[in-house]
Amino acid sequence: MTKKITLSWRKNLQFLAQDEYGHSLVVDTDQAGGGDDAGFRPLDLLLVALAGCMAMDIVAIVRKKGGKISSYKMCLEGERATEHPKRFIKITYKLMGQGEYKDEDLQRAFELSRDKYCSVFHTLKNPPSFEFSLGRE
Amino acid sequence: MTKKITLSWRKNLQFLAQDEYGHSLVVDTDQAGGGDDAGFRPLDLLLVALAGCMAMDIVAIVRKKGGKISSYKMCLEGERATEHPKRFIKITYKLMGQGEYKDEDLQRAFELSRDKYCSVFHTLKNPPSFEFSLGRE
């Protein structure tokens, strides 16, 4: 089971990302950092990946248990180190739902995602190996 | 230094992600997984975050050294475990450039990103702590 994305440089620090299924999105940074602010920054995308993966598990599990979700929101905050590489040192998730479901079902869905299913969270908890190759196109 | 994103449920397993700067993007999954395939999947976004962060460092550093990049591309492949949580066990980066720059400058830019600057890569190499809270909206 492999997944694959491609990132192509457009201008300044702006890139176009494409997945295997025909979706694309712009990655950029702020003007102070040399970009044009035309899209998500990479560190924000890391938070979106974490939020999206867990949110999908939770919504799917609550609905399987017969719950009706009318709204569901997640806010993620990442606190960065002050020194390079300025990695996230702490990530805080806030999960907020509304609808006709049992609070304990949402709690259990969250625990199942955190402890068993969330691929992105567990990639961060237990880092993969990395391999690099460089060349002329 | 904190960063923040919000993810809001739209329908099925489709969500809208928003950053603090006015950008938004759709996160979804395939129909077999209960989604509508309307946007990037979370695991692909993790690869985009990794690619984007390193690509920005590399392009910025090569240009600071006086190089002229005419094209630059990164392909990332993530190999997943077969058992839940199906995390990435190996991530392979291919970096491909073209232009008037010295190969050793690109090599050095890559090493600086990998070893010193890339915030996303170093968040994965050295996991942050996580905190969660659940509630009704």
- Across the interface, whether the CB atoms of A135 and B2 are under 8 A apart is answered no
- Across the interface, whether the CB atoms of A132 and B95 are under 8 A apart is answered yes
In a domain, A136, yes or no: no
CA B115 vs CA B3, B73, B96, B128, B133: distances in Å:
22, 20, 19, 18, 34
Q: Which of B19, B17, B15 is nearest to B29 (CA)?
A: B15
Last residue of a domain, one of A25, A40, A55: A40
Region of residue B99 (left: phi > 0; alpha: psi -120 to 50; beta: else): left
The tens digit of pLDDT for each residue in B80-127 reads: 999 999 999 999 999 999 999 999 999 999 999 999 999 999 999 999
Which of A36, A44, A74, A96 best probes binding to B when mutated, by most B CB atoms within 10 angstroms?
A44
Question: Which structural domain range is residue A33 located in?
Answer: 1-40
In this structure, the answer to whether residues A49 and A5 fall within a common structural domain is no
In this structure, the answer to whether residues B24 and B77 fall within a common structural domain is no
Instruction: Kindly identify which residue of chain B lies nearest to residue A131, measuring between CA atoms.
Output: B92
Q: Is B99 on the interface with A (CB under 8 A)?
A: no
CA distance from start to end of chain B: 26
Whether residue A137 has pLDDT greater than 90: no
Q: pLDDT over 90 for what percent of chain B?
A: 98
Q: Is B103 on the interface with A (CB under 8 A)?
A: yes
Q: How far apart are CA B122 and CA B57, in angstroms?
A: 13
Quick one: angle between helices A42-64 and A103-112, nearest 10? Answer: 130
- Looking at the predicted complex, does its ipTM rise above 0.90? yes
- Across the interface, whether the CB atoms of B71 and A8 are under 8 A apart is answered yes
In a domain, A135, yes or no: no
- How many distinct structural domains can be found in chain A? 2
Q: Is A40 exposed, middle or buried (0-12, 13-18, 19+ CB in 10 A)?
A: buried
Mean pLDDT, residues B14-41:
97
Mean pLDDT, residues B14-34:
97
Instruction: Kindly identify which residue of chain B lies nearest to residue A106, measuring between CA atoms.
Output: B134
Q: How confident is the model at residue B137 (pLDDT cuts 50, 70, 90)?
A: confident
In this structure, the answer to whether residues B80 and B99 fall within a common structural domain is yes
In this structure, the answer to whether residues A46 and A29 fall within a common structural domain is no
Which residues in chain A are closer than 8 Å to B57, comparing Cβ atoms? Answer: none
Helices (H), A12-134: 42-64, 103-112, 119-125
In this structure, the answer to whether residues A75 and A15 fall within a common structural domain is no
Residue entry with tokens 């999908």: A56
Q: Is B97 on the interface with A (CB under 8 A)?
A: yes
CA dihedral A69, B6, B12, A17 (to 10 degrees): -170
In this structure, the answer to whether residues A63 and A35 fall within a common structural domain is no
In a domain, B89, yes or no: yes
Please answer whether residues B75 and A111 qualify as being in contact, where contact means their C-beta atoms are separated by less than 8 angstroms.
Answer: no
In this structure, the answer to whether residues A50 and A26 fall within a common structural domain is no
Q: Which residues of A18-30 are buried (b: 16+ CB within 10 A; e: fewer)?
A: bbeeebebbbbbe
In this structure, the answer to whether residues A59 and A104 fall within a common structural domain is yes
Instruction: Kindly identify which residue of chain A lies nearest to residue B77, measuring between CA atoms.
Output: A4
Q: How confident is the model at residue A69 (pLDDT cuts 50, 70, 90)?
A: very high
Q: How far apart are CA A86 and CA A5, in angstroms?
A: 24
Which of A23, A56, A100, A106 best probes binding to B when mutated, by most B CB atoms within 10 angstroms?
A56
Q: Is A42 on the interface with B (CB under 8 A)?
A: yes
Closest CB from A39, A55, A123 relative to B15: A55
Q: How confident is the model at residue A47 (pLDDT cuts 50, 70, 90)?
A: very high
In a domain, B133, yes or no: no
* Closest chain B C-alpha to A53 CA, distance in angstroms: 5
